[in-house]
A = this chain, B = another copy of it.
Amino acid sequence: MTPAEKTAPRSPRADDDSALRTAMLQAAERLLAESTDNDIATRAVCEAVGATQPRLYRLFGDKRGLLDAVADAGFERYARHKAQLEQTADPVADLYVGWDDHMAFAMANPALYQLMFTPRPRSHSQARTRILELLGAALLRCSAVGALKVEVDQAAQLILSANVGVAFNRIAQPGLFPESLSHQARDAVFGAVLTEPATSVLEHPISDAARQLHSQLALNGSGALESEETSLLVRWLERIVKDVPRSGK
C-alpha cells in the first residue's frame, strides 16, 4: 500500500502483520473446516500460529472481524478459481459451468460456505456482494449476445438465491439431495432468465435490442460518442428497457 519502503526491510513490522494476518486466516479456515460445530475459538487460532490474543484483536478488532476476514478470504479463493475456468466464447455455457462450480465449492467447503452466505448481524463481509458482482459480469456477457431476457441485477439475485438455497439444502441433507436436483434447479432458474436458444421469437424486440445495446455499451463503451452523449443514451436505453409491459401471470 505505502509506496515507500524499498526492497530493504526498512520496517519489517508491516510485513510481519501481513504474514501473521494471512497465517491466522489460514489457521481459522482450517480450524473451521475441522470443527464439529461450525465455530472456532480465537484462542485456538492464536495457538495455531504461535501468537497471543491481543495481536489477533489488534488485527481483526473482534471475533466477528476475524470471521468476516475469513469469509472474504474464502471469496478471494473462489474468485481466483472462477477466473481460471470462465471466459470462454460461450457466455451461456460459462453460466452453467459457474453454477456447477459454485455447488462444488459449497460441498467442498461447507463450513466456509455457510460462513460466507449465512446472514450474520452486523457483518461487514463483502463476500456475498462481490460474488454478486462476479455473477453480474458473467450475466452481462450473456446479455450482450442477447441471451438474457431480464435485467442483469435481477438475474444475478435470482441465480445466487437459488444457488445458495440448493447448496444449503444439500449441506443439510448430505446424500438425500442428488446432483440431479441441483441441475433441475439450475435449469429452472436459467430457463427463467435466459432466452431460448432455438426460439428466436422475441416478445419485446424493442426492449430486448435496447438491453443488448445497453450491455454492449457497459462492456465495450463507444468510441463514436462523447461521454455526455453516452451517459444520456444509457439513460434512454434504461427507460426503454423499463417500459416493457409485464408479461401476464
Q: How far is the CA of A63 from the CA of B161 in the complex (A)?
A: 30
Q: Is the interface of A mostly helix, strand, loop or mixed?
A: helix
Contact between A122 and B36 (Cβ–Cβ < 8 Å)?
Answer: yes
Contact of B184 with A188 in the complex, beta carbons under 8 Å: no
List CB contacts (< 8 Å) of A170-190 with chain B: 171-173, 177, 181, 184-185, 187-189
Chain A residue total in the interface (Cβ 8 A):
39
A34 → chain B, closest Cβ, in Å?
A: 12
As for how many copies of this chain the complex holds, the number is 2
Contact assessment for A119 and B37 in the assembled complex, using a CB-CB cutoff below 8 Å: no
Most buried by B among A36, A161, A164: A161
Interface residues of chain A, those whose CB is within 8 Å of chain B, are 36-38, 110, 114, 117-122, 128, 150, 154, 157-158, 160-166, 168-169, 171-173, 177, 181, 184-185, 187-189, 191-193, 249
24 A-B pairs in the complex with CB atoms less than 8 angstroms apart: A36-B121, A37-B121, A117-B168, A118-B118, A128-B172, A154-B181, A154-B184, A157-B177, A158-B184, A158-B188, A161-B165, A161-B166, A161-B169, A162-B162, A162-B165, A162-B189, A164-B165, A165-B166, A184-B192, A185-B189, A187-B192, A189-B189, A191-B191, A192-B192
